[in-house]
Every structure is written in structure tokens, then in C-alpha cells.
Amino acid sequence: MSAVLDTVKRSDVEDWLYAEADILDAWDYDAWLALFEPGARFEVPTTDFRGWSPLGSGSFVTDDWDLIKARVKRLKSRKAHAENPHSRTHRLVSNVRLHAITDPAAPLRVGPVSTDVAVTARDFGDLSHCLRVTASFVVHRARDGRFDSYVGRYDHVLAPADDGFRFRLRRSILGHEVLTAGARLSFIL
């Protein structure tokens, strides 16, 4: 058993994910950015995702650290027209599970993985002190007189920190077949 799973409790991770959900629902994007390690990535694969690497496939979001910062800066602007006024969102997080990262060559993905290049732990540097966290999410969004829901699974890589955790990889994998009408990802999924 990996050392990190001896010291980290699921309830700690759950509390941390719930706090993140509150931060996002409150549109406190500076606080959200502080949850990332410098150099982290944020990914939302397309709805037909089969474990492809973001270099070998299209994506909805494949942000490196510069782009995460640019995204936050944009969302804080009144000129981010797609989110002005802001959508009202309400997030539910559940089915939280912790996984040790033991094999650096193993694909970082739950479920079946394509034979195509999958992202492996190795792509994210030394992960010996990190853990993978999978969870389910539902994000409800009210906007323009409509109410949409987004369902999916988180597959994150977290590094423990003094005051909780930091994202090294934050990945949201949609459970939808397509992004339904009005469902552009103009907010953080």
C-alpha cells in the first residue's frame, strides 16, 4: 500500500472537493486558481473520449498553466460575454474514491482505455507523493431562462499540501454523448 493513502483520508479529500465546488459556484476564481500547483493542467476531453492523449485528439479544454491563468483572467472580466451575467451553477460531488499512483506507465483513466496513446502518470512528473481522485459530479446551470445539467466524472491528480491539496491535473470527463443545446463550456466544469 502506498504511503500517501495511509496518511490521507477520504473525508479530507471530500471536504476539499466540496470546498472547491462552493468556490466555483460563488465565482471566486482567484480562490480557485490558488487550488492549483504552478505548472498544473486542466482538461475536459470531448464526449467521445476513449482515453486519448490531448496531443492525439481534439478536446474541449486542454489548458496548460498559462491558459488556466488566461481562462481565470477572462472569466473575471465583464467582457466574457458568454458569462455576463454569470450563469447560476449548483454542483454536487459524490462517489469520491482515492487511488494510489503506483505504476508511472499506467494510463491515468478509469474504465476501458483505448490502445491509442493514453495519458500516463509519467507525463506528470514525479507522482510518488500524489494520489488520483475520482469522483462523480453533477453541475446544474441556470441561464437565459434555461436549466441545463452536466454529468460526469472527475479524474484528478492531487498533490497533498499543508492546507489540503493542490491540483496537478484537474480533469472533468463528461458523461454526455454530445454537449446539448446551449451547453458551451463557458464556465468551469
Partner 1 sequence: MAHLPPPTALVTENWDEQTFRVHREAYRSQALFDAERDRVWARNWLYLGHETEIPNPHDFTVRTLAGRPLIFVRDGEGEIHAFLNSCPHRGTVVCRENQGNAKHFACFYHAWTFRSDGAVSSIPGADAYHRDEAFRASMALRSVARLEMHEGYVFVAFTPDVPPLLEHLGDAADYLTMIEQQHAGGMRTLPGTQLYSVRGNWKLAVENAMDGYHFAPTHNTFVGYLRESGFAVTDDDQYAYTLQNGHLLLVLTGHGGRISMLWEPRFGEDERVRTAAHRAEMVQRLGAERAHHVADESHILYVWPNLLLFDIEGLSIRQLEPVSPGVTDVRAWQLVPREEDPDARALRMRTVVSFVGPGGLATPDDIEAYEAVQRGIEATAGGGEIDVSDMSRGMADEIKGVQGRSIDEGAMRGFWRHWVDAVEPGRWSVTGPRPQSFVTGRDVR
* Nearest Cα to Cα of residue 114 among 177, 176, 189, 46: 46
Which residue is listed with cell 436549466?
Answer: 147
Q: How far apart are CA 109 and CA 165, in angstroms?
A: 20
Q: Which is nearer to partner 1, 55 or 161 (CB)?
A: 55
Cβ proximity to partner 1, 27 vs 60, nearer residue: 60
The window from 8-16, 122-130, 153-161, 181-189 that contacts partner 1 (CB under 8 A) reads 181-189
Q: Which residues contact 55 (CB under 8 A, 6 or more apart)?
A: 117
β-strands 131-143, 164-174 pairing: unpaired
x-marked contacts with partner 1 along 105-144 as a string, rule CB under 8 A: -----------x---------------------------x
Residue 59 exposed, middle or buried by CB count within 10 Å (0-12, 13-18, 19+): middle
CB of 147 to partner 1, least distance (A): 13
CB of 72 vs partner 1, minimal distance in Å: 11
- Site map for partner 1, 32-71, x if CB under 8 A? ------------xxxxxxx-x-xxxxxxxxxxx--x--xx
Measure the CA–CA gap between 13 and 60, rounded to whole angstroms. Answer: 26
CB 158 within 8 A of CB 167: yes
Which of 5, 19, 39, 73 contacts partner 1 by CB under 8 A?
73
Residues at the interface with partner 1 (CB under 8 A): 44-50, 52, 54-64, 67, 70-71, 73-74, 77, 79-83, 116, 144, 146, 177-186, 189
